Amino acid sequence: MHQVPVEVLSERWGLSPSCLYRWRQAFLLRGLDSLVYHQSGGRRPKLTPRQKKRVVELLEAGPQVVGCETACWTSVLIRGLIWREFGVLYTCQDVCTLLHNLGFSFQKARFVSDHLDVARRHAWLQEEWPRLLRAAKRRHGLILFEDEASFAQWGSFSDTWARRGQQPEVKTSGKRKGYKVFGAIEYFSGHLFYQGIEGRFASDNHVLPAERVV
């Protein structure tokens, strides 16, 4: 039998000598059965499957449902939520791992209007909108759909990669001014009315001159 010193095997395989000695002792005691890998069960989960399901329900309901003033979840808020609900204390890092395992990810939220009512919108289209059309035709009036936009001359910021500890700088014109544009489309004819100004929006700015028609 070819014997190799433990020191040589330790250096070759990148293992400590004590690990190799434990392997040898296990082989002498159990033979080939010691070579079968048994996965460790690990620590017992802090939350039961039912509690995890409840966490998912609360997260999907939103922070405001549980009394928070914000509409966005953070690991700190969720850590406090789990403590209040189940008396289990997680670290913020463990909370992130838990959320990842539950199918959540940290992402940027988007704004939606809280006054949109699908039923009321449908009723408006079925009742109010036909009435407005009839009145406009009867009086030979215009129905205008208007919107406005503002374009800042100093630009806008966005995320960028930079060396840690050194905030990047973006050169701008330095002018704290903007150009405002607004326009309106007439429903029956499709004509576009538009106006551009450099000052502030005001009621008198919305008086469109007749020549600004496309």
Q: Residue 97 is part of which domain span? A: 49-101
Task: Report pLDDT digits (tens) over 59-98.
Answer: 998 888 888 888 889 889 999 999 999 999 999 889 999 9
112, part of any domain: no
Is there a single domain that holds both residue 31 and residue 93?
no
Is there a single domain that holds both residue 13 and residue 77?
no
175, part of any domain: yes
* Closest-CA residue to 187 (of 136, 139, 131): 136
Asked if residues 89 and 83 have their Cβ atoms less than 8 Å apart, the reply is yes
61, part of any domain: yes
Is there a single domain that holds both residue 29 and residue 53?
no
In this prediction the pTM is 0.43
Is there a single domain that holds both residue 64 and residue 25?
no
With a pLDDT cut of 90, the percent of the chain lying above it is 26
User: What's the domain count of the chain?
Assistant: 3
